Amino acid sequence: MLDVVTYIQRQLDPTLAYRYACRVGMCGSCAMTVNGAARWTCRTHVDKVVRNETLEIAPLKNLPVIRDLVVDMREFFDKWARAKGHFHGARTRNEGFEPVKPDSEDRKAVDAGIECIGCGVCYASCDVVSWNPEYLGPAALNRAWTLVKDARETGTLERLRAVAGDAGCHACHTHMSCSERCPKQISPTAGIAGLKRAVLKSALRGEL
Amino acid sequence: MAGDAGSDGSFRLKTASFWVAVVHRVSGIALAAFLPIHFFVLGNALELDSFLAWTEQPLVKASEWAIVVALAAHLACGLRVLALEFLPWRDWQRGLAAGAAAVTLAAGLAFALAL
Amino acid sequence: MSRRGETRLWIAQRASAAVLAVCVVVHLITIVYAVRGGLSGAEILARTRGNVAWFAFYSLFVLAVTIHAPIGLRAIFAEWLRWRGRSADVTLLIFAAALAWLGMRAVMGVFV
* Shared domain check, A125 and A80: yes
Residue, of B13 and A109, whose pLDDT is higher:
A109
CATH among 1.20.1300, 3.30.1490, 1.10.1390, 2.60.40 for C3-111:
1.20.1300
* Shared domain check, A123 and A36: no
Task: Give B6-49 pLDDT, tens digit per residue.
Answer: 544 556 789 889 999 999 999 999 999 999 988 888 887 666 67
**B and C: number of Cβ contacts within 8 A:** 75
Longest dimension (CA), chain C: 51
Report CA Rg, chain B. 18
Domain boundary among A71, A90, A123: A71
Residues of B in contact with C103 (CB under 8 A): 35, 39
Residue C61 above 60 pLDDT? yes
Top residue of C102, C104, C110 to mutate, by most chain B CBs within 10 Å, is C102
Of C28, C73, C99, the CB nearest to B36: C99
Query: Amino acid identity of A187?
Result: S
Confidence of residue C47 (pLDDT cuts 50, 70, 90): confident
Percent of chain B scored above 90 by pLDDT?
Answer: 25
Number of C-beta neighbours around residue B13 at 10 A: 11
CA–CA min distance B45, chain C (Å): 8
Residues C76, B28: C-beta atoms closer than 8 Å:
yes
Report how many domains make up chain A. Answer: 2
ipTM of the complex: 0.91
Domain boundary among A47, A71, A95: A71
Length of chain A: 208
Task: Give A158-206 pLDDT, tens digit per residue.
Answer: 999 999 999 999 999 999 999 999 999 999 999 999 999 999 999 999 9
Query: What is the per-residue pLDDT for C14?
Result: 97
Most trustworthy range by pLDDT among A188-202, B47-61, B64-78, B82-96: A188-202
CA–CA min distance B20, chain A (Å): 8
Query: What is the per-residue pLDDT for B92?
Result: 65
* Shared domain check, A154 and A95: yes
Of A49, A185, A190, the CB nearest to B89: A190
Phi, psi (degrees; rounded to nearest 5) at A40 = -80, 120
Average pLDDT over residues A116-136: 98
Task: Give A66-80 pLDDT, tens digit per residue.
Answer: 999 999 999 999 999
Confidence of residue B1 (pLDDT cuts 50, 70, 90): very low
Domains and CATH numbers, chain B: 16-114 (1.20.1300.10)
CA–CA min distance A149, chain C (Å): 20
Top residue of B17, B20, B79, B96 to mutate, by most chain A CBs within 10 Å, is B17
Residues A170, C80: C-beta atoms closer than 8 Å:
no
Average pLDDT over residues C61-90: 97
Which residues, in sequence order, are CB contacts of A32 under 8 Å at separation 6+? A1, A5, A18, A38, A39, A41, A57, A58, A59, A60, A69
* Shared domain check, A114 and A98: yes
**In this structure, are strands A65-67 and A57-58 parallel, antiparallel, or unpaired?**
unpaired
Phi, psi (degrees; rounded to nearest 5) at A73 = -85, 5
Confidence of residue C8 (pLDDT cuts 50, 70, 90): very high
Residues of A in contact with B82 (CB under 8 A): none
* Shared domain check, A188 and A133: yes
Comparing alpha-carbon positions, the chain C residue that sits nearest to B55 is C35
- Of A31-45, A175-189, B60-74, least confident by mean pLDDT is B60-74
CA distance B38 to C103: 9
**Domain span at A26:** 2-71
* Shared domain check, A153 and A120: yes
Residue B106 above 60 pLDDT? yes
Question: Could you tell me if A108 lies within 8 Å of chain B, comparing CB atoms?
Answer: no
Percent of chain A scored above 70 by pLDDT?
Answer: 100
Residue A99 above 80 pLDDT? yes
Domain boundary among A22, A52, A71: A71
Question: Could you tell me if B3 lies within 8 Å of chain A, comparing CB atoms?
Answer: yes
* Shared domain check, A97 and A185: yes
Query: What is the per-residue pLDDT for B2?
Result: 35
**A and C: number of Cβ contacts within 8 A:** 36
Query: What is the per-residue pLDDT for A125?
Result: 97
Tell me which residues of chain B have a C-beta less than 8 Å from any C-beta of chain C.
25, 28-29, 31-32, 35-36, 38-40, 42-52, 68, 71, 75, 78-79, 82, 85, 107, 110-111, 114-115
Average pLDDT over residues A25-53: 94
Query: What is the per-residue pLDDT for B112?
Result: 66
Residue A90 above 70 pLDDT? yes
* Shared domain check, A139 and A102: yes
Of C20, C32, C106, the CB nearest to B39: C106
Average pLDDT over residues A70-97: 94
* Shared domain check, A181 and A95: yes
CA–CA min distance B86, chain A (Å): 7
* Shared domain check, A186 and A147: yes
